[in-house]
Amino acid sequence: MSNEIEKLKKEYLEYLEIERGSSLKTIENYDRYLSRFLSFAKIGTPKEITDSLVREFRLFLNRQTSGNNRATGDTLKKKTQNYYLIALRSFLKYFAKRRIESLPPECIELAKIPERSLDLISSKELERLLAAPEGNDEKALRDRAILQLFFSTGLRVSELCSLTRDIDFSADEFSIRGKGNKVRVVFISDDARKEIREYLKVRKDMDDALFVKVGDEKAKTEKEALARRSIERIVKYYAIKAGISKKVTPHVIRHCFATDLLSNGADIRSVQMMLGHSNIATTQIYTHVTDKQLREVHKKFHSKK
């Protein structure tokens, strides 16, 4: 294979990092998606990317089984297939920007996928989850603060991991740099602020991170700050402790944050800004589960004799 297209892929990934400000995780994913396409295509130049080649690649993806599905024989989900196509389309847009001859990016159409469903827990289950960390030791105080902060702000888990003790928690808002390197303001409830203050009072370490490992957790790694997987495990542990049978993740609490706002009358544009969604269509998935007016109409008029 000629090095031309590999060289362009490397330059494109550098462009994502430097000019677009994409996260390292996004760049890693795009690298993986494009490498799989180039491995399949066995081409050397952008000019060789054609409609028929993309169609063959889509058929190839549609017939692949993922690591989790090999036992059942299930093929890659349409949503996963679309990740490859999005990366390829973005690569083609980069060619167009540099006036490099190749397939026009608008020729890449994404597979249709079913409307996204939300993983939600009830308000009663949420209450039990937030109250699940019991006691006043450092671990319980930390975990209560984590859960309250998630629900108060709607932060993504990566955003929560990035927080430091420099934040002024006497105020009811702070700025966070989120997905796509975009900065937004998030608001913190009195309950969350109280739990964070109580937790910080018992901290004896000098680590800058807001949430750090305690006790036996420290022995497993040199790093003190809690990582994404650690926080996901904390949420899962307390969900089980609270008697919640559904799978609960930090993102489920983010869903609860959004639906709570909308069901109490917040407008969708404001919720979009608080969640940090670049596209309002992403936020609209919450509206069908929060429309009180429709619920009242159904209650009033359905099955009336």
Give the model's pLDDT for residue 215.
82
Reported as a single tens digit per residue, the pLDDT across 96-141 is: 999 999 999 999 998 887 666 667 888 899 999 999 999 999 999 9
If we measure between CA atoms, which residue out of 25, 58, 40, 43 comes closest to residue 95? 43
Reported as a single tens digit per residue, the pLDDT across 71-108 is: 556 788 888 999 999 999 999 999 999 999 999 999 99
CA distance 286 to 294: 14
CA distance 26 to 246: 29
Q: Give the three-class secondary structure for 109.
A: coil
CA distance 12 to 5: 10
pLDDT band at 234 (very low <50, low <70, confident <90, very high): very high
Name the segment(s) of the chain with CATH classification 1.10.150.130.
4-107
Q: Between residues 23 and 91, which one has the greater pLDDT?
A: 91
Question: The tokens 């109409």 sit on which residue?
Answer: 297
Mean pLDDT of the chain, nearest integer: 88
Name the segment(s) of the chain with CATH classification 1.10.443.10.
123-296
In the chain, the amino acid numbered 273 is M
CATH topology of domain 123-296: hpI Integrase; Chain A (1.10.443)
Active site members: 156, 179, 251, 254, 277, 286
CB atoms within 10 A of CB 284: 13
**Residues 279, 80, 72: CA angle, nearest 5 degrees:** 145
- Beta strands, E only, the chain: 173-177, 183-187
CA distance 165 to 87: 36
Sign of CA dihedral 106, 110, 115, 120: negative
Reported as a single tens digit per residue, the pLDDT across 172-213 is: 899 998 887 789 999 999 999 999 999 999 998 899 999 999
Give the model's pLDDT for residue 272.
92
Query: DSSP alpha helices (H): ranges in 132-169?
Result: 138-153, 157-161
pLDDT band at 1 (very low <50, low <70, confident <90, very high): very low
CATH topology of domain 4-107: DNA polymerase; domain 1 (1.10.150)
Give the model's pLDDT for residue 22.
84
